[in-house]
Chains A and B, each alone.
Chain A
């Protein structure tokens, strides 16, 4: 039995587990697949979007910076072409020009200078005292002597402040001279420094040797791989912009966007940590994962609860089925015994009838003259009377047996339960008095009218009352008969305080022919008939008994629906 239970538990356990797994798989798999696809697509398009945005940004700034440089150069060139060497040599004139330029462009131009072919600054206008300075060794001077115009790299120069030079070469009387302008580093730097995105995005400019041309926001080692790579294969630039992603020393992915400036002399680099650039994506990813986790947990919990509940239901259904089976077996047993009993009753009835008739015939013959005065006549008569009595007893038994299978009067009538009980109590009152039993009656007031067979109900209750009286016959006691409404049923309780029914007998009391009464006193059919009748009515009969305390029979009688609503 225990083992049986064990395998049952195992069965329900594996059922629960399978259901759990199926529900989780079915619920989570599509979620994961769909989310993954969407996330992947989103990731790709977001990357593209960010790249495009950065490229656009860098390209715009490249144009800005190129434009800026070109414009400044143009300004100086215009100045050189418009005015002659003689005019510009005049320092006050030169100062006027500088002031005019500063008025128009702001403090972009720091100073102006005119340098002759030997590198001597012949005129100077600006905040520094650089008159007669010698530039013959300056790189920009040497370059300017070779080409028309020069935009120098950023350098410290004589003044010790980072700046760069724009210079144009003109001729005066066959002799070259150079008009030189210093572009304020701060103003130029702003152009690049303003490129700031997120927390780690910033831009700077490098020259061909990898030297910084603007001040980067963070400390950087300019000679690092990505920058030199950019510088090495400058032909790989498409539309002037190139974008790469690469891990830095710390293992963080960094996006580099580069564009060539000044015809390839300078390199505009924008760099940003990928985590920063894709922070929105990261956030979305994080939120998505959080939601998925949450949903996953919910699914698991629900799946657990659902499968548990389902299995519980299956288990209780199984149990019910088992109980039902037991009941069916029990009912079937009773029914087959009933059929057998009625068959036997029929068969026995005829021989008994014949026996009784034969006895009667002998009795008739004894009336004849010849037997009158026979010495054993009285003894004959006594024996015949006994045969008749026993025949009647047989008849009673067979009739009870028959009524066990077929009810004597099963016509459905309106039955007033209280009247019926009181009638029965009145019938039993005499017996109770002899048995020294007090009868207490406690009935439900105005019970609904029952639609049952009056005879059958009488039979049940009379049987129970008689049994209770039998139980208390020797000792005396109290018999409680009560009725009360319980939902769709009226429950009649017949309670005695007799000796009780032993445990071993309780299970058998509804079996036909089971009796504890002495031979000839009981047929063992009473309760069995009660059981059959009450089950047929759709009710139930339950027995509770405690040794030395007493026995209670509960009879549940169904109330028909329409009566219930009336009541």
Chain B
């Protein structure tokens, strides 16, 4: 299995740095960004990103807004929200906007890993389905069926 490509977004630099190291140690390929805009830029370069781990509360473009943009441009990329506050509302809002799941900070690394894997899995399934559909389409176009 391919290593999932993860993008970690949070404005807290030490958090991102440490988390990146820990995730890398767990055999993930990790890119990091310190703001919503930077995250979008990196996504543009690495379109094959599987999962974005996104903090809700950030200065400037906040998590929800970033999530909307990501989902618009890269609908297949899954997003796991990290929320500082225990409000169900912000989590629900994130889920409605297309996030895969949410975790509360500080989060357990194992839990996070599990979510990332699930999300990656989901993305792969999606992609397979799309590929299959494309193949079918191509085949029907060429009259092979």
Contact = CB atoms under 8 A, between A and B. Distances in A.
A48 interface: no
B18 A357 contact: yes
B14 interface: yes
B114 interface: no
A275 to B, nearest CB: 95
Interface string B58-95: 00000000000000000000000000111111000000
A399 interface: yes
Interface of A: 342, 345-346, 349-350, 352-358, 360-361, 364, 391-392, 395, 399, 402-403, 406, 408-409
B28 to A, nearest CB: 13
Given A391-B106, A399-B86, A408-B87, A354 B15 contact: yes
B29 interface: no
Given A350-B15, A354-B14, A360-B22, A395 B87 contact: no
A542 B107 CA distance: 39
20 contacts: A346-B57, A350-B12, A350-B15, A350-B84, A350-B105, A353-B12, A353-B15, A353-B105, A353-B107, A355-B106, A357-B15, A357-B19, A358-B14, A361-B18, A361-B21, A395-B104, A395-B106, A399-B86, A408-B86, A409-B88
Interface in B91-135: 104-107, 109
B25 interface: yes
Contact of A346 (B19, B84, B107): B84
B25 A346 contact: no
Interface in B1-36: 12, 14-15, 18-19, 21-22, 25
A526 to B, nearest CB: 16
A352 B25 CA distance: 22
A360 B109 contact: yes
Contacts of B19: 357
Contacts of B89: 406
B18 A349 contact: no
A377 to B, nearest CB: 18
A388 to B, nearest CB: 9
Contacts of B21: 361, 364
Given A349-B105, A391-B106, A399-B104, A357 B86 contact: no
Most buried by B among A349, A354, A356: A354
Overall SS of chain A's interface: helix
A476 B18 CA distance: 49
A361 B106 CA distance: 14
B105 to A, nearest CB: 4
A350 B16 CA distance: 11
Contacts of A354: 12, 14-15, 18
Given A350-B15, A354-B12, A354-B15, A403 B86 contact: yes
A395 B84 CA distance: 9
Contacts of A409: 88
Nearest to B84: A349
Contacts of B18: 354, 357-358, 360-361
Contacts of A403: 86
Contacts of A402: 85-87
A516 B19 CA distance: 39
Contacts of A360: 18, 22, 109
A271 to B, nearest CB: 107
Most buried by A among B15, B18, B22, B89: B18
Nearest to A406: B87
A403 B88 CA distance: 10
Interface string B34-72: 000000000000000000000001000000000000000
A345 B18 CA distance: 22
A364 B26 CA distance: 9
A407 B1 CA distance: 43
A394 to B, nearest CB: 8
A402 B86 CA distance: 7
A402 B56 CA distance: 16
Contacts of A361: 18, 21-22
B21 to A, nearest CB: 6
B106 A357 contact: yes
Nearest to A347: B84
Nearest to B90: A406
B38 to A, nearest CB: 18
Most buried by B among A350, A356, A391: A350
B79 to A, nearest CB: 19
Nearest to B26: A364
Contacts of B22: 357, 360-361, 364
Please name the 5 residue pairs, one residue from A and one from B, whose CB atoms are nearest each other, closest first: A353-B106, A356-B106, A399-B86, A357-B18, A353-B105
Interface core residue of B15, B19, B57, B106 (most chain A CB under 10 Å): B106
A248 B138 CA distance: 144
B88 A352 contact: no
Contacts of A399: 86, 104
Nearest to B55: A350
Contacts of B57: 346
Nearest to A409: B88
A337 B126 CA distance: 48
A354 B82 CA distance: 13
A361 B24 CA distance: 11
Contacts of B25: 364
B119 to A, nearest CB: 20
A364 B20 CA distance: 12
Contacts of A342: 85
Given A354-B18, A357-B14, A357-B19, 20 more contacts: A342-B85, A346-B57, A349-B85, A349-B106, A350-B15, A352-B106, A353-B12, A354-B12, A356-B106, A357-B15, A358-B14, A358-B18, A360-B18, A361-B21, A364-B21, A364-B25, A395-B106, A399-B104, A406-B87, A408-B88
Contact of B85 (A355, A391, A406): A406
B29 to A, nearest CB: 17
Nearest to A348: B84
Contacts of A353: 12, 15, 84, 105-107
A352 B107 CA distance: 10
A391 to B, nearest CB: 6
B52 to A, nearest CB: 18
